[in-house]
Amino acid sequence: MERTIYREIKATAHIWETAVVLVAFIAAALGSVIYVEHYGHIVTGMTNQIVWGLPHVFAIFLIVAASGALNVASMASVFDKAVYKPLARLSALLAMALLIGGLAVLVLDLGRPDRIIVAMITYNFSSIFAWNIFLYTGFLAIVGVYLFVQMSRGKPHEYVRSIGTLAFVWRLALTTGTGSIFGWLVARPGYDAAILAPLFIAMSFSIGLAVFILVTSALCRLSGRPVGAMLLSRMGRLLAIFAAAVLYFTAVRHLTNLYAAEHSGFEHFTLFAGGIYTLLFWIGQVAIGGVIPILMIFHPTFGKTSLAPIAASVLVVVGGFAQVYVIVIGGQAYPTALLPGYEVSSSFYDGAVAAYTPSLPELLLGLGGVAIALFATGLGAKILRVLPTNLSDANLNQQS
């Protein structure tokens, strides 16, 4: 680690251009907040049936990615993988930035953002949402300390492994809490599954590493710093393993639901008759987010190129977003069984599949959360020494 040189990125023309684009998306998101606050949620695609819309999909995606982005730092300090140690600082910074971006979307989607104060001072501990407030704020605090001890040169640096272990355990608890938001909702047959907690942990590993690969590659390219092909290949193989784990837990979830009679209707809806949700599941989640990236990484020729991990990361991000969309929106669209064993219909859409079409304000708000996360990461790399000047294979092999 003593031979690793960290420098702030310089404000080049390309970096300024990227910053302007991100600020434009943030401004558009703020405009959407004002628009929705003025006219109400009636201008969005959300209804009394679909109360969690596209902004919540973005928020949960970013929160899950934040947990997984910390994996690189955990592999460096907790599991003592020397090759990842130069990337540990950026890993911690990106994890905090992604969580801030995700929470920003949730707060701004309230319609009345000031109501977050109520959630901060009034707690219902029978609700998983109250628990998550402590998990999210605790994650930011612990990872902030983790980044501090990594950057310290004196005695605090001795606690990197201890703080890193605490951060690793905390991020597992955070992702478990996020998955439990849906897994503990027994009223909806699309949720109500304990396996959603480990599934979300596997998703965080996959999505978080994919986002980290893309952000690291982009920052190094913008700042003119080399990234070794072997380093990318190593992370790519790990990404393929995580993508396979997501497919495994997804298969177990659906096979379990098919075995339980109470969930058979939802399974038929998701796997065969759900329209856009079925398409997103098979094409988006399974094919684009799982099977194709794995085949790309382990391809005998293309898998050895530096382009393979980056292309696979893009596909995993797209597939992961489709998976969150199917879980969040699809789980609400399928009707709740008010009287099991009976067919129920009314003017209040009981027994009917709920329709949902995302609106432009929702899309802009979600993209604004992504822009906040990326802008915060870039700003952190500009003012803090978190990015090594040389990530070439020769330099990393010399250090390890």
Given this model, what pLDDT does residue 63 score?
Answer: 97
Under a CB-based contact definition with an 8 Å cutoff, are residues 6 and 388 in contact? yes
SS3 390: coil
Under a CB-based contact definition with an 8 Å cutoff, are residues 189 and 262 in contact? yes
Cβ atoms within 10 Å, residue 270 = 24
Given this model, what pLDDT does residue 155 score?
Answer: 76
Give the per-residue SS3 of 40-104: CHHHCCCCCCCCCCHHHHHHHHHHHHHHHHCHHHHHHHCCCCHHHHHHHHHHHHHHHHHHHHHHH
pLDDT tens-digit profile of 292-350? 999 999 999 999 999 999 999 999 999 999 999 999 999 999 988 777 667 777 777 77
Under a CB-based contact definition with an 8 Å cutoff, are residues 225 and 388 in contact? yes
> Of 261, 250, 113, 86, which Cα lies nearest the Cα of 179?
250
> 13-399: what fold?
Formate dehydrogenase/DMSO reductase fold (1.20.1630)
Question: Does 164 have pLDDT greater than 80?
Answer: yes
> Of 130, 148, 140, which Cα lies nearest the Cα of 100?
140
Q: Count the residues in the chain.
A: 400
* Residue ranges of domains in the chain: 13-399
Confidence of residue 2 (pLDDT cuts 50, 70, 90): very low
Burial level of 340, CB count in 10 A (0-12/13-18/19+)? exposed
Calculate the average pLDDT of the chain: 91
CA 328 to CA 244: how far, in whole Å? 22
CA 346 to CA 325: how far, in whole Å? 27
Largest CA distance in the chain: 70
pLDDT tens-digit profile of 219-259? 999 999 999 889 999 999 999 999 999 999 999 999 999 98
